[in-house]
Amino acid sequence: MGYQLGLIGHPISHSLSPWIHQQFLDLAELDGEYKLYEGSPDRLPQLLEELKAKKINGFNVTVPYKQVIVDYLDEIDPDAELLGAVNTVVYSNGKWKGYSTDGEGYVRSLIETFPNLLTNQTSVLLLGAGGAARGIYRALNGQGVAKVDIANRSKDKAEQLLSLRIDEVDSNVISYQQAEEQLAEYDLIIQTTSVGMKPNVEEQVIQLDNIRQDAVVSDIVYQPIMTQFLRDASMRGANIHHGHAMLLYQGELAFEKWTNKKLDVTHLVQKLENKLRGE
Ligand code: ATR
């Protein structure tokens, strides 16, 4: 029968995950299928019964279930527990265990492109403090970088991230204005808000006038692939990192947990980009 995999969430009809996981199944030469299980929030218990009855090997979890799913799992990975969110569930020995692969997937995608970027000298600016920012913040702390400053529209939310900090990492909550002023301090700038996403493609969360040319600017928005933020960074001579790579690598980490197969997916970054561009 092969691997039974899938995604729960709402709405998910435009999800790229079935395409991505089919690429992984093909690459790993495994039989299986990755299906969408869509349901409005009140249908979650029913959806989970359906998945259990199907003896699904594993599934991804997206909006609006990433937090509430925790109550339905038998076990939860410590990092996912700390984040309070799960995006991957693995079925093993009759139990469901939850993980979060977003942050680690992001870091993997970054290291694939910039292998020497993350060291104990690296200063990072994180823009945004939502669910995606939490996973990325935690994973960056785990990499032992020197500093991760957080700027967000609502200061309270940025301060909540500090509870995920690892001691050796210097971390301050700053305003967007401060971030703009001291931009030259940062080696890596990561945009995690929804600003610039289709259809508001002209928007940009902060101005990049003070950026250093050797800095890396990363945007997790992937629709469009070339956001205004990345275009601006590129025009100023900085290096850029696109959002769809994170999508691919968080999926690859989930696939690895379900199948115990570790894949080299570097060539799929371009293939996914072509798909997103409609080529
Ligand atoms: P995700 O899980 O994708 O990170 P989220 O948890 O809803 O989504 O977080 C959205 C992020 O985008 C937050 O950092 C949010 O800022 P606030 O915490 O201040 O709300 C940010 N964001 C969304 N719209 C924004 C806007 N128009 N200007 C600035 N920041 C915005």
pLDDT one-digit tens code per residue, 172-214? 999 999 999 999 999 999 999 999 999 999 999 999 999 999 9
Ligand 1, atom 6: closest residue by C-alpha: 130
pLDDT of residue 102: 97
Confidence class for position 240, pLDDT limits 50, 70, 90: very high
Centroid of ligand 1 to alpha carbon of 175 (angstroms):
14
pLDDT at 19 exceeding the cut of 90:
yes
Q: What are the pLDDT digits (tens) for 142-163?
A: 999 999 999 999 999 999 999 9
Q: Is 66 a catalytic residue?
A: yes
- 257-260 LR contacts (CB < 8 Å, sep 24+): 257/58, 257/88, 257/90, 257/99, 257/101, 258/3, 258/5, 258/57, 258/58, 258/90, 259/3, 259/28, 259/30, 259/57
Centroid of ligand 1 to alpha carbon of 97 (angstroms):
28
Average pLDDT (23-50) is 94
Residue 114 per-residue DSSP state: -
Centroid of ligand 1 to alpha carbon of 228 (angstroms):
17
The percentage of the chain sitting over the pLDDT mark of 90, rounded to a whole number, equals 94
- Residue of 35, 55, 66, 147 marked active site: 66
pTM for this one? 0.96
Asked whether 48 and 20 are in contact (CB, 8 A), the reply is no
Give the separation between CA 271 and CA 279, rounded to whole angstroms: 9
Give the separation between CA 171 and CA 167, rounded to whole angstroms: 9
pLDDT of residue 279: 77
CATH architecture of 3-100+245-276: 3-Layer(aba) Sandwich (3.40)
CATH architecture of 103-241: 3-Layer(aba) Sandwich (3.40)
Domain ranges of the chain: 3-100+245-276, 103-241
What atom in ligand 1 is closest to the CA of residue 128?
A: 14
Establish whether domains 3-100+245-276 and 103-241 are of one fold.
yes
